[in-house]
Amino acid sequence: MDNENHDFFTIAVSPLPSLRCAVQRKRIGVLTSGGDCPGLNAVLHGVVSAATTRGFEVLGFLDGYEGLLNPVRYQRLDAVSVAHISHLGGTILGTTNRGRFVAKVGAGKKSVIPREVLQQARETYLGLGLDALVCIGGDGSLSTSLQLQQIGVNVVGVPKTIDNDILATASTFGFDSAVSCVVDSLDRLHTTARSHKRIMVVETMGRHAGWIALHGGLAGAADVILIPEIPFHLSKVADFAMERSGSGLPSTMIVVAEGAHPAKGRVSTLKNIPQVRGEVRLGGIGDYVAREIEKRTRQETRHVVLGHLQRGGNPTALDRILGTRFGVGAMELIAKKKFGHMVSYQNYEIGGVPIAQAVARIRTVPPKGQLVQTAREIGICFGD
């Protein structure tokens, strides 16, 4: 079953139950599911290092939950295999948001994973003699872990999303890295915008929550921020840009989240894209806003879509630390046998909350919250 390096395995589900009696050490599994995110490898480093200290063996399943199914795909993880990976972007285990475990179909909506799929995963869990399974993912992936918990798999969740929209945790790793990408982009675009006296529109990620656009726009000196929680009027945005031009400010920087939409319009989706199971593909709002604003102001307007640049690259120092703490926190929950719980960050401390509570709904930007009010006080327009 082992290959020459004794670290990578591809085996069928059927013979797994016979392995149970041979397992002497405590053993856990870990996987990364959903979209990639800066800080995932820091979490893996935290999980494996803390597990090794506590005497656990760790199996890392490849390509998310799909690695639990036939053919089973996993890799042994130890202190050597996770050494010096915390600074790396992506995930050494691979991930996917497609396949037989797609559980997210819209804002706060989850689909039910077929019973036979869940049972296959449970057979793998039992056959490999696992004591627990650490599931690192967003609200859709955590919903899947909850369904596994309900059929007898001891799961512990770790919240992962650059959108920072998971309830019951004040922050998630990857968010700071995504915001830093937005800020760096705005810093670069400000110079060309001023030089050419242009209006620039920067489209960020943020399907249902505008945290990236709000934090990135505020830190990156945006003049207009458009988010899903505050429907906007193009006429008000155009008037604002023209007022700036008339007062001697030659350029205007507009940050728009991909899920933002006009007050009397819908979110913008990509056309001619084959639909697969899961959420619809958003896109095009930056182009739409740029075209409409140029039409109304008669000022040259360009747009930039940051897209997956926000997901890629190495994590910031904050995300490396937070990811590591989340990984260690997951092992603490396992040690306390608090299964069905998710690691949570509140008041600068790592704790745990029931996964069911965490995925009940997504966390969105309060339109009248302090952060939005701060932005308004310094003159940022939200188009409302």
User: For residue 222, what is the domain's CATH number?
Assistant: 3.40.50.460
Mean pLDDT of the region 78-99: 91
Residue 206 included in any domain: yes
pLDDT confidence band for 98 (50 / 70 / 90):
confident
Q: Is 286 helix (H, G, I), strand (E, B) or coil?
A: helix
Let me know whether 45 and 29 are in one domain.
yes
Half-sphere exposure of 117 (CA within 13 A, CB side): 14
* The pLDDT of residue 3 is above 90: no
Overall number of domains in the chain: 2
Q: Which pLDDT band, with edges at 50, 70 and 90, does 12 fall under?
A: very low
**How confident is residue 230, by pLDDT bands cut at 50, 70 and 90?**
very high
Percent of the chain with pLDDT over 90: 76
Measured in degrees and rounded to the nearest 5, phi and psi for residue 170 equal -70, -25
8 A C-beta contact, residue 345 and residue 176: no
pLDDT at 258 > cutoff 50: yes
pLDDT digits (tens, 9 = 90+) for 150-167: 999 999 999 999 999 998
Cα-based angle 33, 34, 37 (whole degrees, multiple of 5)? 95
CA dist 14 to 18, 67, 69, 372, Å?
Answer: 9, 15, 11, 55
Same domain, 195 and 126: no
Would you say residue 101 has pLDDT above 80?
Answer: no
Establish if 268 belongs to a structural domain: yes
Q: What is the mean pLDDT of the chain?
A: 89
Instruction: pLDDT band for 8, please (50, 70, 90 cuts).
Output: very low
Residue 277 lies in a domain: yes
Q: What is the pLDDT of residue 284?
A: 86
Over residues 137-150, mean pLDDT: 92
> pLDDT by residue (tens digit) across 195-206?
999 999 999 999
Residues 175-227: pLDDT tens digits?
999 999 999 999 999 999 999 999 999 999 998 999 999 999 999 999 999 99
| pLDDT at res. 100 | 78
Which range, of 251-255, 270-274, 275-279, 363-367, averages the lowest pLDDT? 275-279
CB distance 293 to 237 below 8 Å: yes
Over residues 321-332, the mean pLDDT reads 97
Residue 339: both structure tokens together: 């299964």
* Residues constituting the chain: 384
Q: What is the pLDDT of residue 294?
A: 96
- Of the residues 139, 163, 223, 319, which is catalytic? 163
Whether 80 and 165 map to the same domain: the answer is yes
- Same domain, residue pair 30 and 115: yes
Per DSSP, the residues of 114-174 read PHHHHHHHHHHHHHTT-SEEEEEE-HHHHHHHHHHHHTT--EEEEE--TT--BTT-S--TT
Residue 366 covered by a domain? no
pLDDT score for 18: 41
Same domain, 162 and 21: yes
Task: Say if residue 102 is in the same domain as residue 196.
Answer: no
Please confirm, yes or no, whether 7 is among the known catalytic residues: no
Query: Does residue 376 form part of some domain?
Result: no
With CA atoms as reference, report the closest residue to 215 among 347, 284, 316, 107: 316
Instruction: For residue 47, tell me if it sits in a domain.
Output: yes
**357 pLDDT higher than 60:** yes
Beta bridge partners of 202: 255, 304
Domain end call among 289, 310, 331:
310
Query: Which pLDDT belongs to residue 253?
Result: 97
Are 124 and 36 within one domain? yes
Give the range of the structural domain holding residue 20, as residue numbers without chain letter. Answer: 8-173+315-358
pLDDT at 362 exceeding the cut of 50 = yes
Specify if 384 maps to a domain. Answer: no
Judged by average pLDDT, the poorest of 15-24, 300-309, 354-363 is 15-24
pLDDT recorded at residue 17: 44
CATH code of the domain in which 345 resides: 3.40.50.450
> What is the average per-residue pLDDT within 70-84?
94
Please report whether residue 209 resides in a domain: yes
